[in-house]
Amino acid sequence: MNREPVVAGQFYPGEEAALQEQIKNFIDEGAKKEEALGTVLPHAGYIYSGKVAGAVYSRLILPEKFVIIGPNHTGQGRPFSIVVKGRWKTPLGEVEIDSDLAKEILAFSQNLEGDEKAHSQEHSIEVQIPFLQYLTGDFRFVPIILSGGDLATCREIGGAIVRAIKAKDEKVTIIASSDMTHYESQESAERKDRQAIEAILQLNEEELLKRVRDLNISMCGYAPVATMLSAVKQLGAKRAELVRYMTSGDASGDYSAVVGYAGVVVK
């Protein structure tokens, strides 16, 4: 899959210089850095969620390899899909998929399928790439898209990711791309998101899925986050930290119908 960007010029600038300048403004060069097994990062337009993403990325000692898991907003393709070869382009250049790691994950999983269609128009992974390009210069990644998923499915896919990472014996950070509550009042979004974030900070993927269901939390990437949590615990994760929480209202000034954005580091 040689993928052209689909939201450049919409979610983030389409020109290299403008994109670099925008990301630079989101990065805190003086932030104390640490290694992370996993993260939760938003994927909205940078003017809305870029400050949250930048706060998280500023804190990370970044490895050379990532597994990036996002939700499916388009409805296209297979429900649990992975791409095992190719390159993704952004205004900052091209990034290669880590074929070896991707093929290992696919081989270990009973649920994942090799599928490019789910990824062709989906933005949730794409918006992470320019931050990583800006900060690392050179990295490889594995893109996984999940269209929902119950607890058993999330744990199975998480287990496959862990087996592949251990087989390669390499440092890999797992990025779960997710926005939080969608298009509710600031008060409602903060109340619901607090419940979801609490479960994430407890490293409890089962409780996260339960709260999303029981409280009707419109968190688009609940399955990617649950999968990431399941995986990182098997890799030795002990605690998580909320780095920053904001809503779209903090950028637009309209708090009547907001989208929530949470940035979490799991160590």
Q: What is the pLDDT of residue 195?
A: 98
Mean pLDDT over each residue of the chain, to the nearest integer: 98
Asked whether 68 and 141 are in contact (CB, 8 A), the reply is yes
Q: What is the CATH number of the domain that holds 50?
A: 3.40.830.10
φ, ψ (nearest 5 deg) of residue 68: -115, 120
Asked whether 151 and 209 are in contact (CB, 8 A), the reply is yes
38: domain range?
2-266
**Average pLDDT of the residues in 137-156:** 96
Q: How far is CA 11 from each of CA 45, 50, 89, 115, 120, rounded to the nearest angstrom?
A: 4, 10, 15, 24, 16
pLDDT of 137 higher than 90: no
Structure tokens at 220: 């688009």
Give tens-digit pLDDT for 195-244: 999 999 999 999 999 999 999 999 999 999 999 999 999 999 999 999 99
Q: What is the pLDDT of residue 152?
A: 98
Q: What is the pLDDT of residue 246?
A: 98
- How many independent structural domains does the chain possess? 1
Give tens-digit pLDDT for 57-105: 999 999 999 999 999 999 999 999 999 999 999 999 999 999 999 999 9
Report which DSSP code applies to 256.
Answer: S
